[in-house]
Structure 1
């Protein structure tokens, strides 16, 4: 009887090893400082932990909310490069269709339907699809891990998956949030001499939905960064914006965690208390 139980446990562990969605970031801890993701206060009721894989490489990590069909956050290393912005060809995540699907990389919706024989309804059940983002007046496809913070064309292309996208206010996405991402982040990392910068960018779930109530419209967009110099954390900062205003508030890491603790109704820790909070 004991032998049978051990075999069942072993089989379960082997099965989990095939799912890069279900095992919490086991395949991609490198996108978190010291391998520590944020604490469980951010976890939704029906989560998926995605190591975002494209062309056989991991590019960033995403905690995804299957019920609201938006990412909770994406975590990555800030490594902007000169590679051009890729064409906006949107991907979806095969592993959100079925835990037993042995497809480990993001893929185009039409390929999953035509070549892999999935139905559109199967794909739509636990994630957003391109049609969900068509005709959304005043809203953009807002990247959590932005292509401009990635180095190569492959890195940048990997950000164009709907598991990394939220409905973001158009004026904010093209205005102050874009300024923060493209100019202020660059200034901060250069002036502080960061050798490695870990970033976690997230979206606070809102009370409204778009696309026939399928996709949640976040109430806030936020971002946190931890700057390392010679592998030691030397500085950290945060930013937050309401998702209906073209305004970004810059904060210390501690202030951002306090704000998120209030919004999520639970104590939020983003870098395992390892980075400066003041």
Structure 2
């Protein structure tokens, strides 16, 4: 019986293909404090654990919802720098399409022209550029923003649609932008390393003719290390229908998410990160 169980596990791994959709983030634990992702309360029915890879390097990690076609969260290390990414280029993840050996994010056109994927194959389990081309009052809200990275490749890697949710436009250019580029620099002063997890609570409405979920809330959490010791942590949450945002303690954010998910416990970081 044990041999049969091991055989089933091996078969499941092979079914996923030789790709960077891994469980749970086996190739990129470095983007989580202590190598520990959030607990499984946030996992959707059809999850994909993506080690986001561009130009042969890992840049962040994303838990993706194949049904809702949005990221549940993206995790990264906060290293702000100047410069922006390729505003006119958006990537998709070939590892979400079918069994293949492609590990790096690519554009839809590249996959169609070079690997004979069809548009229908590409968009089956993920959002595509056309899903975000005709939104009204909404923006392509990147959970992991390019401005939180200090290398060209890392900034470019944030322009994958598996890192994007439909975000209220006034929020995206308003209070969320203030949090990303004013609050984060202020709060992370003195931190040797700052781990960030930014996510979206699935909502009850959709866009793009029902293909893409519109989250009800956007949230972010950070754990600041001085040397190797966690010294402080914080969170933020915003209603995805208005330009308002609250900055909270990590414990308060986890409690809010517990309510939104109907869960008994939400743990975003290991317990060493302060909750108050």
TM-score, normalised to structure 2, is 0.95
Structure 2 Cα separation of the partners of residues 118 and 240 of structure 1: 38
| Residue 233 (structure 2) aligned to one of 232, 236, 252 | 236
Shift of 1:46: 0.3
Any conservation in 2 of the 1:207–1:219 contact (CA below 8 Å)? yes
What CA deviation, in whole Å up to 9, does each residue of 1:1-42 have, x standing for no partner? 99x859946954873683321321000000000000000000
Structure 2 Cα separation of the partners of residues 35 and 242 of structure 1: 29
Counterparts of residues 1-278 of structure 1 (less than 5 Å): 5=4, 8=7, 12=11, 15=14, 18-98=18-98, 100-190=99-189, 193-266=190-263, 267-278=265-276
Structure 1 Cα separation of the partners of residues 72 and 6 of structure 2: 35
Structure 1 Cα separation of the partners of residues 13 and 171 of structure 2: 44
Shift of 1:88: 3.2
| Consecutive aligned runs of 4 or more in structure 1 exceeding 6 Å deviation | none
SS at match of 1:258: helix
Paired residues in the alignment total 274
Shift of 1:140: 0.2
Any conservation in 1 of the 2:19–2:102 contact (CA below 8 Å)? no
RMSD: 1.8
What CA deviation, in whole Å up to 9, does each residue of 1:85-118 have, x standing for no partner? 43330000001011x2110110000111111101
SS at match of 1:156: helix
Unaligned runs of 5+ in 1: none
Unaligned runs of 5+ in 2: none
Structure 1 Cα separation of the partners of residues 4 and 243 of structure 2: 57
Deviates more, 1:139-148 or 1:9-18: 9-18
SS at match of 1:91: coil
TM-score, normalised to structure 1, is 0.94
Structure 1 Cα separation of the partners of residues 176 and 6 of structure 2: 52
Any conservation in 2 of the 1:88–1:160 contact (CA below 8 Å)? no
What CA deviation, in whole Å up to 9, does each residue of 1:195-247 have, x standing for no partner? 00000000000000000000000000000000000110000000000001101
Any conservation in 2 of the 1:166–1:218 contact (CA below 8 Å)? yes
SS at match of 2:86: coil
Structure 2 Cα separation of the partners of residues 11 and 44 of structure 1: 23
Compared with structure 1, are the counterparts of its residues 240 and 119 closer, same or farther at alpha carbon in structure 2 (3 Å cutoff)? same
